Structure 1
């Protein structure tokens, strides 16, 4: 009797992470293997979710495996093709039933029909029409939904409240015109109005979208670069004007040098970055505590923030899974309003629907991010876009324009290179 009682206690204490495999009465629990990325969710969140999910689904056991971002693309492609992830680094040899992937990675995984089509569930049960476009659109292929939006993050403007006050600016700008005016007032006396690296192409993409332009367009199944459209050129011109109000290098991106360090040095009034970068800024310069503020990237009109690139994650289900309905149940729970808002509050993310933004309204930086996410977009939804980023002609184009070359000429050349990359890699 004592041995049986001890076994029962051990089973209860271990059930959260490994389960005992049996339900009362002897029936077997079925395991659903879930791959989530490192730092996407805290351990406390995963414990809360696992406990609740297994309570609601007593016939299931969650086996959550944390993956590293480095090398994840090849690893996911292998399991989608029917291979095994292997035992390297202690990973479980069984293939996953649910996988977290970067939102812009979904198109490359859709190829070959290797993901489960979740269009019916998203339209019927999950309110897919309300998802943030920047998460939902990359998860689609020909109007079929394969990637289910989980959480988002996007750029906002991080600014120095004390420098704004010193310049007589009493409120953050709400339009592009106001933004340029305020930034010009802030620029001088040893302070940059804004630190904007010359090759921050994600920020440029937002300006292009806000003008009605695109990075690339599709016609008849073929993609072409579109930086030379009048709308895209207007976006680049705004970037040029904003960049001129600071000392950001024309030939480097926001990581060279890291813009958090530049901002922490006290020589810039604004940067465009995700709100989470504020932690790195304060780590470098604790004296800035209480002096940082956030506002959405302004758009043309005061009531509508500018377009921004939306990063984040979608959840996908491999078509090869033998636990289809169970995997769908996990996706439904994680992306549903209850747990999606819990994750957003826990990790300072944007929920997957604009109408859930009130869940993060109490955090200034995240609230600004959520306001911008409603206008969020993602890179072109084609598997070949990865080839464009591998040798990114947009960065070279930006440097050329910022150093005096003709924008129309350079945009045409960059667009031709984008078209070549998309066409060659498309086969």
Structure 2
């Protein structure tokens, strides 16, 4: 799940403004503009591209201009907090960008509204399209249609302090659920007198630390019937079994405020107040970065979350990340598709990978042993339900609050999923 704007649900009015009379093919005017091969292409990217890989943006534009030398590419960097509300306003004013980056949990409301062109007929022209990460592709593909292109991804793995585990007698990274439970118990025994120490930092307000257990047990978040109505699946026996496995780890490993979010993981690991967490690569780097303790660089490792239900396998990870779409109201759809093609090319993906993120394809991985945990189990990765109102569920923090209630003991998994499942259904099915 990416950060969300205040604009959570696309109204019918907005749907009309996004699509108007445009089809999924360039209009006559757009075709004429592209035929002239002269003009300006406007690209909206998030700030990460500006701070982490500006040379990739320049390289993609340089490749693009080999084909369209008289087209000027203007890249505007956006903020996650308001980029969707800005896009909505631009659509109403008929001033949409030609390319826009979205989080993979933000696409459903726009694909349902017909806001983006179908790139399905061009899929084979994009590098690595046969091996795109499932969690990113799921945000773009609807049947045979393709409304966006996977850009880059990020997932979570268990980050651990090698030195603290060694002090507790654990000399290798756990590879099974039992080994993980044994490591947590050994850490708890070693630090029994330190009530501020968490063998495994896993607070409640951390959906992507909990929901992998749901999918691991064969559960899911919600499903849609043939009539288009969504039903929560969080109260099914499989989902409840997964949530109980997660709660077992919370109870065994988490000390302190269980209502907190996962942003406290890196500081806790850096300060020696936790030995493990279920965190992103970015959180891992913070442990030994300027905000943490640089002396810990060689003492930090990662491994995938072991599956509680299949011995020796990995719990299916959530794959967050970004995708790139071409708005249906863009006057330069041909140019836009070509720029996206260059920006998601294999050479660019290698640069995103070097920047600490996942490539959009399962065929490119890092040989950095410290990041090893982030590249296992991706073939089973999952994303949020492709519901047009999912962003409203996120904005209302319904899943987070459900997990907080379970983690804190306020409600049993059965009570919490029953109560919040009805709320989730209400939002998903709202017109």
**TM-score in terms of structure 2 length:** 0.83
Q: C-alpha offsets along residues 1-37 of structure 1, whole Å, 9 cap, x if unaligned? A: xxxxxxxxxxxxxxxxxxxxxxxxxx97433221111
- Alignment partner of 2:259 out of 251, 255, 266: 251
How much has 1:142 moved relative to structure 2?
4.5
Q: 1:28 to 1:193 in 2, by over 3 A?
A: closer
Secondary structure of 1:151's aligned partner: strand
Aligned to 1:4: none
Q: 1:289 to 1:129 in 2, by over 3 A?
A: closer
Does the alignment pair 1:352 with 2:357?
Answer: no
Does the alignment pair 1:42 with 2:50?
Answer: no
Q: 1:362 to 1:400 in 2, by over 3 A?
A: closer
Aligned to 2:13: none
Structure (1 or 2) with the larger CA radius of gyration: 1
Gaps of 5+ in 1: 1-26, 85-94
Aligned to 2:424: 418
Q: C-alpha offsets along residues 102-145 of structure 1, whole Å, 9 cap, x if unaligned? A: 11111122232120011121256555342111101012334421
List aligned pairs for 1:256-405, cutoff 5 A. 258-282=264-288, 283-299=291-307, 300-301=309-310, 304-345=313-354, 347-357=355-365, 360-362=366-368, 364-365=370-371, 367-402=372-407, 403=409, 405=411
Aligned to 1:158: 159
Give every structure 1 segment of 4 or more consecutive aligned residues whose post-TM-superposition deviation is greater than 6 Å: none
Checking the alignment, whether the CA contact within 8 Å between 1:298 and 1:305 is kept in structure 2 is yes
Secondary structure of 1:199's aligned partner: coil
Aligned to 1:240: 247
Gaps of 5+ in 2: 1-35
Secondary structure of 1:352's aligned partner: coil
Aligned to 2:142: 141
Does the alignment pair 1:218 with 2:224?
Answer: yes
Query: How many equivalent pairs are there?
Result: 383
Checking the alignment, whether the CA contact within 8 Å between 1:194 and 1:270 is kept in structure 2 is yes
Q: C-alpha offsets along residues 351-407 of structure 1, whole Å, 9 cap, x if unaligned? A: 1111122xx223622x42232433321111112112212222323332333316332
List aligned pairs for 1:49-68, cutoff 5 A. 49-68=60-79
Distance (whole Å) between structure 1 residues aligned to residue 163 and residue 380 of structure 2: 29
How much has 1:197 moved relative to structure 2?
0.6
Checking the alignment, whether the CA contact within 8 Å between 1:140 and 1:146 is kept in structure 2 is yes
Distance (whole Å) between structure 2 residues aligned to residue 132 and residue 121 of structure 1: 18
How much has 1:304 moved relative to structure 2?
3.9
Secondary structure of 2:118's aligned partner: coil
Secondary structure of 1:271's aligned partner: strand
Structure with more contact order per residue of length (Cα contacts < 8 Å, sep ≥ 6): 2
Distance (whole Å) between structure 2 residues aligned to residue 363 and residue 31 of structure 1: 43
Q: C-alpha offsets along residues 281-325 of structure 1, whole Å, 9 cap, x if unaligned? A: 222333423211111222244664221221110000011122121
Distance (whole Å) between structure 2 residues aligned to residue 81 and residue 211 of structure 1: 44
Distance (whole Å) between structure 1 residues aligned to residue 60 and residue 352 of structure 2: 10
Aligned to 2:102: 101
Secondary structure of 1:272's aligned partner: strand
Distance (whole Å) between structure 2 residues aligned to residue 202 and residue 229 of structure 1: 19
Checking the alignment, whether the CA contact within 8 Å between 1:77 and 1:109 is kept in structure 2 is no
Secondary structure of 2:386's aligned partner: coil
Distance (whole Å) between structure 1 residues aligned to residue 321 and residue 89 of structure 2: 22
Q: C-alpha offsets along residues 227-285 of structure 1, whole Å, 9 cap, x if unaligned? A: 10111111111111101122142323224xx2222222212110111111133322233
**TM-score in terms of structure 1 length:** 0.83
Secondary structure of 2:429's aligned partner: helix
Q: 1:57 to 1:341 in 2, by over 3 A?
A: farther
Secondary structure of 1:113's aligned partner: coil
List aligned pairs for 1:197-212, cutoff 5 A. 197-212=203-218
